[in-house]
Amino acid sequence: MTTEISPPKPVIAFRIGVTGHRKTRLKASQLDRINAQVAMVLESATTAMHNAHNRYVGEYATAAPLYYFVSALADGADTMAAQKALNHGWRLLAPLPFPRDIYGEDFAPEDRKAYERLVTAADSVVELDGVRGTPNNEDRAYLQAGITTVSQSDILIAVWDGEDARGIAGTAVIKDEAVAAGKPVVWINATKDTPPVFLLEDGETRPFSAEAIDTAIDSVVAPPPSAEIEHKFSGKDTHALYAYREFCEETGHATNWGSFFQFWEKAFAGKWPFGVKLTHNLPGAAIDAELKSTLAEKLQASAQDQRTFNKLIVPRFVWADHLAIHYGNLYRSSYFFNYLFAAVAVFLALFDLIAGGMGFGSKTIWIGLEVTIIVLILVVTTAGKKGRWHEKWIDYRQLAEEMRQYRLYFLTLGRSENMDDFAQGEASETAGWVDWYFSATRREAGMISACFDAKAVRETAEIILNEEIRPQIAYHNRKAGTLHKMEHRLHHLGEFAFAMTLLICLCYLGLVFFKSGDFGAIKEFAYDAEKKVKNGVTMMTGFLPALGAAFFGIRVQGEFASTAERSHATAAQLKAITEKFELLTHSDSARLETLRLRVAEAARAMLMENMDWRLVYISKPLNLPG
C-alpha cells in the first residue's frame, strides 16, 4: 500500500558501525585476519537480517532490507572495514570529523585516493565542524565523529588492541561509549589472532556466533510482542502488535466526523461556529502541501536526503498527525455529545409536564425522543470504545510529535536516542508499538548528508527557528487562549444553570408562602400562579441542574484549564529558547554542538508538553455520562 492510501510500514534496516586503530597501530601481519573477521561479522549480520525479514514479513514493508555501515573513514581499521562493507553490499554512512578536503590531509598520498573513493561511494557524508590547530581541538573533532558513529549504529565493531585509550578520542573511549549506551560491541582483537567476542557492560566477554548476532539483531528489529498489553486503563486488553496492525490498516478520513466538537469549541470560545469544515484534507494532499516548505528542501539537502525527508519522514509525520486529529475530534465530539444530550434527555423526560397541558404532542412522543437520545448515546459510546478512539488519539498524537521532533534531530545529526527518555517513564503509559515504529523509522532513515561549517549552522538555526519554533509558539498561544475562554465560559454557564435553579426554587417557595398566608389579593395571585408554574418549575429545576452537570462533566473530561496552562508554559519556554537561537544565527563562530543543544532544548520543551498532555488525558477514556 502506498503512502497516499495508508500509513507506510517501515523497511527493516540495521546499522553496524566501526571504530578502530589507525594504520600506524595495525600490524601488517594481522590485516588479512582482521579483514576476514570483519567480513564474517557482516555476513553473519546479513544472514540474521534475512532471517528477521522472513520472520517479521507481515510487520515490515516488502522492500528488501537496508544494511547501513557507519564509518568515520580514519585511515586503518575504519577504511578497511568500510571497503569490506561496500564489497558486501552495505550502504556507507560517513561522519567525518572535518570537511572532507581537510580530513584528507590525515592520509598518506598512497591512501588518499582510497579515502576519496569511499567518500564518493558513501550514501551519506557528514562533514562535521572540527577544527585543526591544536592537539586538543583535533581530539575533540575525532571524538565528535566517534560519538556520531555510535549514535548512528545499532552494533559497533571495535578493532581494538585491548589497551587503555591514549587520548580522549581513542578506540577504547568510543567502545566504552557504545557499551554505556547499551549497544552490542563486537571486539576484533587488533593484535592477537583470537576469534571475535561480544563485550559486555561488566567487562566480561561472550563468544561471537551466528546465533549470538541473530539474537542481538532480533532484539533491535523485533516488533512489539503480541502479549504486551497497551492502555490497561481503558478496561480493554489491547495487544501492542494488534494496535500497530490497526495503525497500518488505517485509511484517510475525508469526512470530518469531529465537526460537532469543533462547532462547540468555537461557540464556547466566542467565535463564529458555522465556519467549521465538514471535510478533511486526505493525507496525500497534506503530504504534497508539506513538501512545498519542508525544512530539508529549504536547507538544499542532497538528493538522498530529499528522498529520506519526502518519502519517509514527512509521510509518516503527516499520517500520524492526520489520524491523531481525526480520532481526537471523534473522541471529543463524543463526550460533548454525550454530556449535552444527556441533559436534553432529562429535558424531554420532563417536557410533557408543560407540553401536555398545552395540548402539544404527547408523553409517548417525548419519551420516545428521550429513548432515541439514550440509544444514540449508547451507540456513540459503544462505537468509541470498540473503535478505540481515545487510545488511538493518544497513540497517534505521540507518534506525530516524535516524528515532528525527529525532523529537527535528523537535520542536525542530533543524538535522537535521547528522545526515548521522554516516551518512557514510570507514569507515561507509553505505547510500545509507537516507540518501536519510531525507532524502525529512525534506522531506515540513515543519516543526513551535510557540511556543518559556521555558515551552515547559522542558516540551519534560522530555518528551524522560523519554520518550527516560532509557529509552535503561535500555536500554543492560540491554543491557550481558546481553552482558557472555553473553561471560563463553561464554568460560568454551569454557575448560571445552578443560580437559575436556585432563583426558580426561591420564587416558587415565595408563591407557596404567599399562598399559605393571609395576604389578600396577593394570596389569590400566588395561588393561581403556583398552579400555573408548578409543572414548569418541576421541569426547569430538573433540567437546569442536569445542564449544569453536563457543563461540569465536559470541563472535567476536557481538562481545558490545565491544558491551557501547559500550552502557555510551553510557549514561554520556547520564547526563551528563541532568544538563544537568535544569538546563534548571528554568531560568527556558530558551532554544531551548540545548535544540537538548542534543538534538544526546544524538542524537550515540546515533547514534555506532549507527555504532560498524555498524563492528563490517558485516564479519561470515553464512558457513559454517569
Same domain, residue pair 135 and 248? no
Q: What is the CATH number of the domain that holds 71?
A: 3.40.50.450
Domain annotation covers residue 3: no
Q: Which of 221, 249, 273 marks a domain boundary?
A: 221
Q: How far apart are CA 51 and CA 216, in angstroms?
A: 13
Which residue, chain included where needed, has cell 498561544? 477
Same domain, residue pair 168 and 292? no
Domain annotation covers residue 528: yes
In this predicted structure, what is the pLDDT of residue 297?
A: 66
Q: For residues 216 and 184, is the Cβ–Cβ distance under 8 A? A: yes
Which residue, chain included where needed, has cell 514561554? 572
Same domain, residue pair 140 and 62? yes
Please report which confidence band the pLDDT of residue 233 belongs to, taking 50, 70 and 90 as the band edges: low
CB atoms within 10 A of CB 70: 32
In this predicted structure, what is the pLDDT of residue 426?
A: 37
Please check the confidence at residue 423 and state whether its pLDDT lies above 50. Answer: no
Domain annotation covers residue 403: yes
Q: How far apart are CA 357 and CA 352, in angstroms?
A: 8
**For residues 493-521, average pLDDT:** 90
Please report which confidence band the pLDDT of residue 202 belongs to, taking 50, 70 and 90 as the band edges: confident
The percentage of the chain sitting over the pLDDT mark of 90, rounded to a whole number, equals 67
* Max CA separation in the chain (angstroms): 124
Same domain, residue pair 177 and 259? no
pTM of the model: 0.91
The number of domains in the chain is: 2
Mean pLDDT for all residues in the chain: 89
Q: Report the SS3 class of residue 156.
A: strand
Could you give phi then psi for residue 197, rounded to 5 degrees?
Answer: -140, 160
Domain annotation covers residue 480: yes
Is the sign of the CA dihedral 236, 237, 243, 245 positive or negative? negative
Domain annotation covers residue 444: yes
**For residues 459-482, average pLDDT:** 94
Please check the confidence at residue 236 and state whether its pLDDT lies above 90. Answer: no
Is the sign of the CA dihedral 36, 39, 43, 48 positive or negative? positive
Output the 3-class SS for 461-475: HHHHHHHHHHHHHHH
Domain annotation covers residue 623: no
Q: Which of 188, 221, 254 marks a domain boundary?
A: 221
In angstroms, how far is the first alpha carbon of the chain from the final one? 42
Q: How far apart are CA 405 and CA 605, in angstroms?
A: 11
In this predicted structure, what is the pLDDT of residue 498?
A: 95
Same domain, residue pair 374 and 455? yes
Same domain, residue pair 216 and 274? no
Most confident of 225-239, 290-304, 417-431, 487-501: 487-501
**For residues 587-599, average pLDDT:** 93
**For residues 157-165, average pLDDT:** 92
Same domain, residue pair 312 and 441? yes
Same domain, residue pair 368 and 307? yes
Q: How far apart are CA 386 and CA 396, in angstroms?
A: 17
Q: How far apart are CA 407 and CA 472, in angstroms?
A: 14
Same domain, residue pair 20 and 165? yes
Could you give phi then psi for residue 235, rounded to 5 degrees?
Answer: 80, 5
Q: How far apart are CA 286 and CA 106, in angstroms?
A: 47
In this predicted structure, what is the pLDDT of residue 517?
A: 78
Please report which confidence band the pLDDT of residue 432 belongs to, taking 50, 70 and 90 as the band edges: confident
- Domain residue limits at 44: 13-221
The percentage of the chain sitting over the pLDDT mark of 70, rounded to a whole number, equals 93
Residue 140, Cβ density class (10 Å: 0-12 exposed, 13-18 middle, ≥19 buried): middle
Domain annotation covers residue 17: yes
In this predicted structure, what is the pLDDT of residue 310?
A: 83
Same domain, residue pair 207 and 61? yes
Residue 454, Cβ density class (10 Å: 0-12 exposed, 13-18 middle, ≥19 buried): middle
Same domain, residue pair 72 and 190? yes
Please check the confidence at residue 321 and state whether its pLDDT lies above 70. Answer: yes
Please report which confidence band the pLDDT of residue 411 belongs to, taking 50, 70 and 90 as the band edges: confident
Please check the confidence at residue 496 and state whether its pLDDT lies above 80. Answer: yes
**For residues 569-578, average pLDDT:** 96
Amino acid identity, position 534: K
Please report which confidence band the pLDDT of residue 33 belongs to, taking 50, 70 and 90 as the band edges: very high
In this predicted structure, what is the pLDDT of residue 425?
A: 41
In this predicted structure, what is the pLDDT of residue 17?
A: 98
Same domain, residue pair 420 and 460? yes
Please check the confidence at residue 539 and state whether its pLDDT lies above 50. Answer: yes
Please check the confidence at residue 1 and state whether its pLDDT lies above 60. Answer: no
Domain annotation covers residue 7: no
